[in-house]
Structure formats: C-alpha cells, structure tokens
Amino acid sequence: MAVSKEAVKMREQAPEVRKKNFNEVPLGYSEEEALKEAERCLQCKNKPCVSGCPVSIEIPAFIKAIREKDFQKAIDIIHESDALPAVTGRVCPQEEQCQVKCVVGKVGEPVSIGRLERFVADWELSKRKNELNTNSQKPASNGRKVAIVGSGPAGVSCAADLAKMGYEVTVFEGFHMLGGVLVYGIPEFRLPKTIVKTEIDSLEKLGVRFVTNVLIGRALTIEELFELGYQAIFIGTGAGLPKFMNIPGENLNGVYSANEFLTRVNLMKAYLPDEYDTPVKHGRNVAVIGGGNVAMDAARTAIRLKAEHVYLIYRRTEKEMPARIEEVHHAKEEGIEFMTLCNPVKYIGDENGFVKEAIIQKMELGEPDESGRRSPVPIPGSEFTLTVDEVIVAIGTTPNPIIARTTKGLKFKKHGEIDADENGRTSIPGVFAGGDIVTGAATVVTAMGAGRKAAKAIDEYLKTK
C-alpha cells in the first residue's frame, strides 16, 4: 500500500478567534485521524526516529499499538521512557528530533510522531479523569532516599525513573506550584496547566513526595540534604536567571524580562484579573526582544492581552531564529509584526519612569560567529524611534546561581553551569545534575533525557555504595 505523502493535519483554533483567548491552539487528533496517521509509519527495523529522541521512546512500537487500537499499550510503551507524554507531545521540537529522521520524510511529510504521542497521552488523561479509583502503581520501596532539586522537566523525569526502581524520592520546589518552566514559562495556549498537574499527580501515585516552598540553597543546603539521610541528590534547577542587554532605560517601568512577564501571566494568572490579584501591564504597543520560543510565547501572550501592536524585534533574519518554525508561523498568523535585523539600543521613559519609546538600530549580517550563524553587525546612523509602552526582553537565561553560592566543592563552568559528565555526575560524589543547569537553556525533552540518564547513574552509584 502506498503511503500518503501528506500527514494528517491537526485542527487548530482559527487565528482571529484564538488571539482573543488563552485556550490551547492545536486541538488534537480524533481517533480516526490518529489511526489514519499511524498507518503512515513504515515500522522501520532500524528505527531511525528513536535515535532522534532524547528520551528514546520506542516510537514504532507505540505507533503499532495505535494501529491495533490498543491505546493503553501505546501509552504504556511511551511511559517506559517519558514521564510527561502529554507535555512532550505538545512542546517537543519533533521536526528537528524524531521526525527529521523519519524515512517517510524523505519522500513527503514525516509521520506526525508528536501528534500521535499527544493523542495517546490525552486519551489516557481523559480515561484517568473518569476513573475514580486508580490502582496505586507504587513499587516496593528499597528504603533508600534520593532528593531531587527542582520540579521541572529534568527533575520529574529523574524522580519518575528512580521511583519506579523503588527509591524513596522527594522533590523540592521553590515555587508554590510544581512543574518549573512548564507552569511559569510555557503559556496556557501551548500547554494547558491542568495537563501538567495531571501528569505530575501521576508521579505522586508512583510514590514520589513533593515539597513546595523550599528553595535548596536557602532553607536547606545540599550538605544538609545528605545530613537528612538522602543518599544521592539530583540538581535540576534549570536556567532561570534572565539575561538583560544592559542598555540605557532597561529598568524603566514596563520593561520586563520574559520570565517575569510570563510568570505573572502563567503562574500567577494575571490574564484573569477578575479572579487573580497579581497585576501585569497590558501594553498597547509591545516590543518583544529576541527570536526564540520564549520570545514567541511572550509575543503571543501580549497579543492575547489585547495589545494593538506586538513587534518582534530580532537582530538577525528569520532564517537564524532559534524558535520552532511552527511557533513562528503561529505568531505570524496571530498578527505579530516581525522586525528582523533590528536591535534596541536604548529605551526612553516618560516623567513617571514608564517606557514610551525604544530606539532601534538596524543591523546587517556579517561573518558567521561561534554559533555558526551569521553575526549581526550594526549599521551606523540607522537608528529610528518606535513608540512602545511595554518591552519584553527574551534574549535568554543563564543558570540560577543560588546552588553555586551555597554548595562547597561543586564545580561550575564558565557561565555558571554545573560541571557534570554525560551521566550527570558532578564533582561531589552522590550529587548529580542535569537539564538546563548543566547545558544552559535548551529544550524540555533534552532536560528530561538528562534526568533519565542521571536516574540510571544514581541507581548504579547507590548499588555500588
């Protein structure tokens, strides 16, 4: 049977509708659509797709189970490698991971692995919701305690694997809510928070204990965790410190880091001002600085907060943007105005200290830099003024220094990343690290992969101890 060159599209909210709400944009596959898409998989013996997956999901096997309409089996296969399938099915850049390796992709569109993953994950979530008494899947305890620092993607993946092996796992989170970047960073319209909660709840059923409002490095140190009887510690604190450009006017009112803007909106729910108390500025003319996924999230959030103009200001061209193509496409559909080869050099405020103008300099592309991308070079005398009443700086984040400042003997790299090997081992025996705190800002699924590797290394370490 000939395989269709075209993938089954996923239905989406129309741009004009969705830019006025915070509901999820892609609506998911129906069973019929999923079965049709699953038929496109060639079930390759050498499984190139699996090698592209940072957590090594047995992709052909779960797709085969979908074809057989055994959705439970499909989700069970995914769960063996992925603690948060409903999350990764939504936010993974599949086009550069599993799908880029898909053999079908050589002749047409690759199999929509992410959409299929989301389909079975959502099937299971809705099933779970309807079941009042889910059986506890808690494995027998081996009596050994492991502490996980941070409840983001790296931490929860590590926790899930260790819990399955029988360890008594406690996850410490500084915020009042679990999920890390999944709850403070990624907007509701890309990743509904109820999904994050349901996925994390299922870890509690595995026996993982979660402690919120405790920041390791302040309330307790790494050293004290050992004193409390934890035999190994995994640090997955992410890259949480926002970068600024250090240009004049950046501390004016109305200039946000993307982290602050998104935390106010996502975690504190400032988009529902009738119910929630945390305020956020609703700018009319908003400039978002940057070209990554976070910049797209911020821009698309600003348009949903009823901005008249949202300018996405990026110093290179669209080709060099690190954001997923899908996100760029969504942003454009929603009316985000792209200003590429542009860079702010200064912000000007009114008499009360609120930003009113951005001075933007035009750029051109020069020689490639260390990232391999052509570097932006300012064009002298090209400055122009843009009227703005809100600026969101989304030019990246660096590791949070709190663990570094409070942990003796832990080695760090140049930009504050923890120095850890590929299995997460750090300079302190029994202390492991993974995710953005080791690599610098990357994706949800790479962090999850690092968490899994560290779980394996922790198990090996404790078995030989």
Partner 1 sequence: MFKIIEKYALGPKIQYALIEAPLIAKKAKAGQFVIVRGFEKGERIPLTIADYDREKGTITLVFQEAGKSTTKLGKMKAGEYLLDMLGPQGNPTEIEKFGNVVVIGGGIGIAPVYPLARALTEAGNEVTAIIGYRAKDYVFWEDKMKSVSSRLVVATNDGSYGKKGFVTDMLKEIIESKEKIDRVFAIGPAIMMKAVSDMTREAGIKTVVSLNSIMVCGMGMCGACRVSVGGKTLFTCMDGPDFDGHAVDFPELMKRLETYKGEEKACLEKYHKECADGSI
Interacting residues toward partner 1 by CB under 8 A? 174-176, 184, 212-215, 218-220, 240-242, 244, 246, 250-251, 253-254, 256-257, 259-260, 263-264, 268-269, 273, 275-279, 281, 352-353, 397, 400-402
Hey, what are 241's tokens?
Answer: 């410190």
Cβ at position 204, least distance to partner 1 in Å: 17
Is the separation of the CB atoms in 368 and 374 below 8 Å?
yes
**Is the Cβ of residue 13 or residue 253 nearer to partner 1 in the bound state?**
253
Contacts 24+ apart (CB under 8 A), 325-328: 325/95, 326/95, 327/293, 327/296, 327/297, 328/296
The owner of tokens 């899947």 is 137
**Is the Cβ of residue 26 or residue 240 nearer to partner 1 in the bound state?**
240
Cβ at position 453, least distance to partner 1 in Å: 25
**Is the Cβ of residue 332 or residue 346 nearer to partner 1 in the bound state?**
346
Cβ at position 85, least distance to partner 1 in Å: 26
Cβ at position 217, least distance to partner 1 in Å: 9
The owner of tokens 């370490």 is 461
Hey, what are 159's tokens?
Answer: 């926790």
- Cα angle at 438 between 436 and 439, to 5 degrees? 65
Residue 452 phi, psi dihedral angles, 5° rounding: -65, -45
Cβ at position 257, least distance to partner 1 in Å: 4
Cβ at position 399, least distance to partner 1 in Å: 10
**Is the Cβ of residue 232 or residue 393 nearer to partner 1 in the bound state?**
393
Cβ at position 418, least distance to partner 1 in Å: 16
Cβ at position 280, least distance to partner 1 in Å: 8
Cβ at position 252, least distance to partner 1 in Å: 8
Rounded distance, CA 259 to CA 397, Å? 9
**Is the Cβ of residue 156 or residue 457 nearer to partner 1 in the bound state?**
156
**Is the Cβ of residue 390 or residue 459 nearer to partner 1 in the bound state?**
390
Cβ at position 436, least distance to partner 1 in Å: 12
**Is the Cβ of residue 347 or residue 461 nearer to partner 1 in the bound state?**
347
**Is the Cβ of residue 80 or residue 260 nearer to partner 1 in the bound state?**
260
**Is the Cβ of residue 277 or residue 367 nearer to partner 1 in the bound state?**
277
**Is the Cβ of residue 54 or residue 174 nearer to partner 1 in the bound state?**
174
